[in-house]
A and B are shown apart, each in its own frame.
Chain A
Amino acid sequence: MAQRAQPIITVLGISALGLILALILVPPITLLMVAKDGGLSPADWSAIRFTLLQATLSALISILLAIPVARALARRTFPGRGLLVALLGAPFLLPVIVAVIGLLIVWGRAGWISDLIGTPISIYGLGGVLLAHVFFNLPLVTRLLLQGWGQIPAEHFRLVSQLGFRPAQVFQHLEWPMLRSVLPGAFLLVFLLCTTSFAVALTLGGGPRATTIELAIYEAVRFSFDLSRAAILSLIQFAVCGVIAALSLLISLSTGFSNSNLISTSRWDARRRSQRTLDTISILLVTLFLLTPLLALVLRGLAGLGDLPPLGRAIMTSLMIALGSTAFTSLTALALAQWIDHMRAAKNQLAFLSEGVSLLTISTSPFVLGTGVFLLIRSVANPFDFALPVTALVNATVALPITLRVLLPALEQSRLTHGRLGESLSITGWTRFRLITWPTIRAPLGYAAGISAALSMGDLGVITLFAPPDMETLPLLMYRLMGSYQTQAAASVALILIVLTLALFWLFDRGGRLGHHT
């Protein structure tokens, strides 16, 4: 295809790429320079062990529980099924700290379950970390597997019932081959998410027996101010993520980030009573597990809405971070995506960069990025003065692969459907972007911006490293309230945070589709 050379696209694209590479690669280099040869203490080793242990267990439990749930959803239709599948997508946008408070109200020492069984249970430590990770990742894996089931041809299910397969044989010949191809990727994804989920470790872990690498970095920076140790631990975290990234090159990593193939297939092998009972129990249990913390949060939060602490400043700060991060991520992703699409059109080998950049950002621990930036700034200025822009920047980096993933197909679609028409009418450059590209990508861009804003709104990561005591975001405020055992107030703030997060997502998503014709 004779694409007219568009230098501006190339310039913007290369700038965006340079910016991202600098963001991802400069911090580790700083770390290398700060790290002194000190060796690892027993506490460091135990942090490494705990990180790997909890990530492995989280991934295994999430997968084991997700299999019967996904299978039930894949072969049943019932009222509320669509709602449940949508609910499975919700934890993705739910701020971690919000879920943690909900889980504590249900599973904590003075929680519902403790009341029910009559003895207080404690979930701090490994148990709590696993509980929170399963709460977030069980739905994710279920959606991934549901797509896997959706990809089994309907004919195969007809075939097995025609040939009289028993459920065990259906599993062996249809479901196991699918699981074998989907599960390694799902395991790796959950493992990765759990090695870099700082907020869960911060709120539910801690102590010598339940400290993750990231939590140890946080403690080294904030409490013992042992920056060399923080740097060494960050490099270890970087290496762990790097190994997972390398492994994921061997397996195609899917993120469950699509709504295709979530339908159910009528199946004749599933009509047996035992299968029906199994499915009903799976669906009921998972619904209870996911809904009770949210319900608990709403009940407790509503009760405390009357005496909230003043929130104005926290809301303003959170919004500023979210909007700044969204603007940065959207513009960078747009510049990069346009360039990548341009190269794809020209069959340029460099087009694979998109995958590379996504992979690099997915496998970078945002917390390690933050630590690196912290050490970098520290050599010239007071890092605590830069809490806002650094948090926004790191959040933007986290949201970048998602935005790219949404934008690239939209740009390709726009090019394939309207590209030649545009060329034949000699519409190029800015005019082409305004008249042809923009109308077709604004809806997906709005959606991606909504997600990026929501993620940033709920973030409780890097900000904990940088925030001076007088600085507040909503998640930070909730964390501090939790620390002083004001669960009710924290739950009320959580409600405000959820409402604001959803409102922000809705505004961007809706804004992208307003007056839209395709």
Chain B
Amino acid sequence: MDITLENLLIRLGSFTLSADFTIPNGITAVIGPSGGGKSSLLLTIAGFIDPAKGQVQFDNKFAVKNPGDRPVTMLFQEHNLFPHMTVAQNVGLGARPDLKLSSDQRAQVDLVLAEVDLANLGSRYPADLSGGQRQRVALARALLRQRPVLLLDEPFAALGPALRREMLDLVHTLRDRQNHNLLMVTHDPDDALRIADRVILVADGVAHPPQLVKQLFDNPPPELREYLGQ
């Protein structure tokens, strides 16, 4: 599903960010200095921030206002799970928020848990899991929801390098299966090079149109050179 940002202007206090482009279906990394507005861009696409100007469109249709009705699942850096619910319940929320699941839906919960390698942990509570496992649970719920747009706001930032690469590869595999339009914020160019097709550079109040990874890094514009320290 394509995402179009049409003459978008985000204003939060004195901070502004503008964007005007289409993100074709695929894997797109969003990079740039911290505080530059990467998260705000994702929050706006998900519907959590109302833009000051402009529109968000999905497949050329204007997005509805309510975040729950947008074709989007977003994973945050932390707090993706409710601590008082089991892993299976946390995933099951993706099917029905009142958790009155049919046996079919319960089977699906088990299925997606298996897909993220947490097959036997459904009855555990988030506090019993490692940081990486918790984010896998959130991924499992995203799979269950089957929304065509998946936004990752650095959910793996707190993990060590090896674990992060493993998680990225898992995301890559799962994404190919459900054909999400995947947007992921990262501060590490290697993440982008590892799985992304395109890159959006967010710097100096502007989100630049997506460019193919190779093109961008082979011939970096001044903002990117500054960010990379070249």
A interface residue numbers (CB < 8 A to B): 153, 155-156, 158-166, 169, 173-174, 177, 266, 268
Contacts and interface: CB of A to CB of B under 8 A. Distances in A.
Contacts of A166: 97
Interface in B26-58: 43, 46-48
B79 interface: yes
A395 to B, nearest CB: 43
Q: Which of A153, A155, A161, A164 has the most CB of B within 10 A?
A: A155
A164 B98 contact: no
Given A153-B78, A162-B46, A162-B74, 20 more contacts: A155-B77, A155-B79, A156-B82, A158-B43, A158-B46, A158-B48, A158-B67, A158-B76, A159-B82, A160-B97, A161-B68, A162-B68, A163-B68, A164-B68, A165-B97, A169-B97, A169-B98, A177-B84, A266-B48, A268-B48
B230 to A, nearest CB: 34
Interface in B68-87: 68-69, 72-74, 76-80, 82-85
B76 A155 contact: yes
13 contacts: A153-B78, A155-B78, A156-B79, A156-B82, A158-B74, A159-B80, A160-B97, A161-B67, A162-B67, A169-B98, A174-B82, A266-B48, A268-B48
B94 interface: yes
Chain B's interface: helix, strand, loop or mixed, by majority? Answer: loop
B66 A161 contact: yes
B171 interface: no
Contacts of B77: 155
Nearest to B70: A162
Contacts of A163: 68, 93-94, 97
B195 to A, nearest CB: 24
Which 7 interchain pairs have the tightest Cβ spacing?
A: A164-B68, A155-B79, A153-B79, A155-B76, A165-B97, A161-B67, A163-B97
Interface residues of B, number: 24
A268 B98 contact: no
A164 B68 CA distance: 5
A174 B82 CA distance: 8
B64 to A, nearest CB: 12
Interface string B93-128: 110011000000000000000000000000000000
Given A169-B97, A169-B98, A162 B82 contact: no
A135 B46 CA distance: 42
A256 B80 CA distance: 28
Contact of A155 (B80, B93, B94): B80
A177 B82 CA distance: 10
A158 B46 CA distance: 9
A273 to B, nearest CB: 14
A182 to B, nearest CB: 15
Given A169-B98, A268-B67, A162 B76 contact: no
B82 to A, nearest CB: 6
Contacts of B78: 153, 155
B66 A268 contact: yes
A246 B67 CA distance: 47
Contacts of A155: 76-80
A227 B66 CA distance: 69
A188 B74 CA distance: 40
Contacts of B69: 164
B72 A162 contact: yes
Contacts of A268: 47-48, 66-68
A155 B46 CA distance: 12
A162 B73 contact: yes
Contacts of A161: 48, 66-68
Contacts of A153: 78-79
Interface-central residue, B47, B69, B79, by most chain A CB under 10 Å: B79
Nearest to A266: B48
A88 B162 CA distance: 50
Nearest to A180: B84
Among A158, A160, A166, A268: residue with most chain B CB under 10 A: A158
Name which of A161, A165, A169 has the most chain B CB atoms within 10 A of its CB.
A161
Given A155-B76, A155-B78, A177-B84, A164 B97 contact: yes
B82 A173 contact: yes
Contacts of A169: 97-98
B43 to A, nearest CB: 8
Contacts of B83: 177
Contacts of A162: 46, 67-68, 72-74
Give the one of A153, A160, A163, A174 with max B CB within 10 A: A163
A388 to B, nearest CB: 53
B76 to A, nearest CB: 4
Contacts of B66: 161, 268
A160 B83 CA distance: 14
A158 B80 CA distance: 9
Nearest to B78: A155
A332 to B, nearest CB: 41
Nearest to A173: B82
Nearest to B69: A164
A268 B69 CA distance: 12
